[in-house]
Structure 1
């Protein structure tokens, strides 16, 4: 095994993140049939907020409040309550990506494993517990707790320090987002693997050490 440490992103790298389905589940609990059109309108607000969050322009708290403000006003609840209801729904429907369980199982004992995620604290531990993944990871580093989000080098530096500052050549970052995961890892000086399940075009200036279309393919490369 080439690496002593393998760090994973969470959403769409280990866990499915079906936000539309999560919102349908959440709104059903409020007595609303949430439509694809309503989801598309929500994403017009949500997506730019995530870009601003990853660029360090807004805080996790601002993101949570702003993305649900419109719906909170309609339902006469606080945006924070709606955000919590959404994360609860996402925890209720959480599943692992194909090959995630087998990959983590195969790597255990071969390398130390960690997670670096821009997701929210409220959701992370519940998903790890419910999918039986809790005991496999040495550290779960969450942007909301660190105060900076990937691709900011600060979150990678924080994780690196927790890990005991291993030689960077022995660390691999695996993620589905070429900007936050791959570029963030590249800029920090560690090897990266882009999990490109959608056969997307590689963005200019992004050069992962590996590019795979599935976690099964990554397992074959790492344990060859």
Structure 2
């Protein structure tokens, strides 16, 4: 019997909350502690009131990565008399400092390396992705690493998937699998690009009527078992 690894020549991964923990509250607490500020849950709630709608606009192609990164820190930048760009850079540094692979990520990547081609398509930002890949020792495992900030298009825009497929040498689409935790950007984006998808559904969220992943798992250990099962 063959397993799913014989079906796919490429597996593409999202980064945040697919390969890596992304604890924005912890990152912000660390960043602001370096300014001698105790950042609390109320501060985080106010930050998210600004940040979350910006991400929706970014993924819908309405604003740029730079606009998102700077606007979310405008208020704090005024209070601290620094530039929003500086605060955003300090935030990404703090996020890199606390970065950890998700449980099962290292074992999964090790088991796939050399057996299937691995790539990343992420809406995250360049400064964080490159540092994280280096610090976790994953940088040699993934090629290409496609970052929306560099392309100017974000998932679920089909352009970022087409760009990745071009860098991959235009493989047969039925031989490509996209893995991600975001039903809209990762799964709908992959579906629109004509490739199979696997939803990493950490919290048991319900499916929507119009988005149907090829596979669904709740953690990377389950994905490991799914890919390797005979």
2:31 match: 26
How far 1:53 sits from its partner (Å)? Answer: 0.1
1:65 match: 70
What secondary structure does 1:44 align onto?
A: helix
1:194 match: 199
TM-score (norm 2): 0.97
2:118 match: 113
For 2:99 and 2:208, the matched residues in 1 are separated by 29
2:175 match: 170
| Aligned ranges 1:1-224 → 2 under 5 Å | 1=5, 2-224=7-229
Deviations 1:19-40 (A, max 9, x none): 0000000000011000000000
How far 1:201 sits from its partner (Å)? Answer: 1.3
Deviations 1:109-133 (A, max 9, x none): 1100000000000000100111111
For 1:61 and 1:204, the matched residues in 2 are separated by 33
For 1:194 and 1:21, the matched residues in 2 are separated by 25
For 2:175 and 2:37, the matched residues in 1 are separated by 49
What secondary structure does 2:197 align onto?
A: strand
Deviations 1:24-79 (A, max 9, x none): 00000011000000000100000000000000000001001100001000000000
For 2:56 and 2:124, the matched residues in 1 are separated by 13
For 2:55 and 2:141, the matched residues in 1 are separated by 28
What secondary structure does 1:207 align onto?
A: coil
Number of matched pairs: 224
TM-score (norm 1): 0.99
What secondary structure does 2:153 align onto?
A: coil
How much is the aligned-residue C-alpha RMSD, in angstroms? 0.5
How far 1:202 sits from its partner (Å)? Answer: 1.3
How far 1:139 sits from its partner (Å)? Answer: 1.0
